[in-house]
Amino acid sequence: MPPRSSPSTGLSPSDARRLLPCLTSFMASTDSRARIAFDPLEFPRRYENPRDIEVAGLLAAALAYGRADLFRPKVDALLQRMGRSPAAFVRELDVAGARELLGGFVYRFNVGTDVAVLLLGMGRALREHGSLEALFVQGLETRGSWHGALDAFTTALRDVPMEPLRRALGPERGLQHLLPSPLGAGAAKRLNLYLRWMVRGPDGVDLGIWKRVRPSALLIPLDTHIGRISKHLGLTRRNDLSWRTAEEVTASLRVLDAEDPVRFDFALCHYGMSGVCPTRPVRENCARCLLRPACSIGRETVKAGRARATP
């Protein structure tokens, strides 16, 4: 269930004044173009038509878990077989087509039946609503909250006849992991990542093709990297990777930028993924980090290193 109380923010005005220039310099130093090659965002960026972008994006985000060198070939192979227009492909997709595309498909927790539900659900959404954006906005207007909108979105996508799919492809295995419904108390990282791609921008990172949703409404795509760095920067006091924690981090980021709070996500996440900011701090890395003036762990690590070096 979504949290019942408003999220708190661990960021004081003085913390915000210290953190914002650090984050601004940090983002300016990030080579976003180079990092996109290592990000599932590369897949929707291949397309120009908004409907192709949103279909390719949701498929890529849904499968973007585990090691990038393992999920990227899976996504790439599916998109290649779906042809020049993923949107046209899913609009016309039926159970026989799903069996042809996904027979034998396995990626970690997911099998072909799981992915078939996602593709058939997107096809139905395009036929009935015209776009995935329209489906999401309907849930946002009906439910009135971000959590409720996402829950309505995934529930609608999963509303496909299962027995014909099971006969064609076998039983589902990780459908709740691929497309959670009900959404639950988790941070829904990959779904919020997808929404960031669709809503923010267009800029050097995100695509900004959804015009009916404001970037200010986005929730941070919370994973282990963002969770760890957010704690170091004072954006949250929480230790778990829950929806509540994502709300608290986002509330702190809104103190820095009320209109576009998740613009910092791409740079921070890739910083954690790069290994430069590991779970156990490395003094040499902390000493060079542009975020150190605002980072409690970085300051302590460098201070401790200097103390040990003093005779």
Same domain, 60 and 26: no
Same domain, 47 and 180: yes
Same domain, 49 and 18: no
For 36, counting Cβ atoms within 10 Å of its Cβ (0-12 exposed, 13-18 middle, 19+ buried), the class is middle
What range defines the domain where residue 66 resides? 43-184
Same domain, 225 and 144: no
Q: How does pLDDT run across 65-120, given as a tens digit for each residue?
A: 999 999 999 999 999 999 999 999 999 999 999 999 999 999 999 999 999 999 99
Q: Within a domain: residue 173?
A: yes
Domain count of the fold of the chain: 2
pLDDT classification of 4: cutoffs 50, 70, 90: very low
Of 63 and 14, more confident: 63
Q: How does pLDDT run across 35-50, given as a tens digit for each residue?
A: 898 899 999 999 999 9
Q: Within a domain: residue 200?
A: no
pTM, two decimals, is: 0.94
Of 115 and 307, more confident: 115
Q: Which residues contact 81 (CB under 8 A, 6 or more apart)?
A: 101
pLDDT of residue 102: 98
Q: Within a domain: residue 71?
A: yes
Give the residue among 301, 268, 273 at the shortest CA–CA distance from 23: 268
Q: Within a domain: residue 208?
A: no
Measured between alpha carbons, how far is residue 9 from residues 18, 177, 224, 296 in Å?
16, 29, 19, 17
pLDDT classification of 1: cutoffs 50, 70, 90: very low
pLDDT classification of 308: cutoffs 50, 70, 90: low
pLDDT at 5 over 50: no
Same domain, 180 and 47: yes
pLDDT at 132 over 70: yes
Q: Within a domain: residue 205?
A: no
Share of the chain above pLDDT 90, in %: 83
**Axis crossing angle, helix 112-129 with helix 162-169, rounded to the nearest 10:** 140
Same domain, 52 and 176: yes
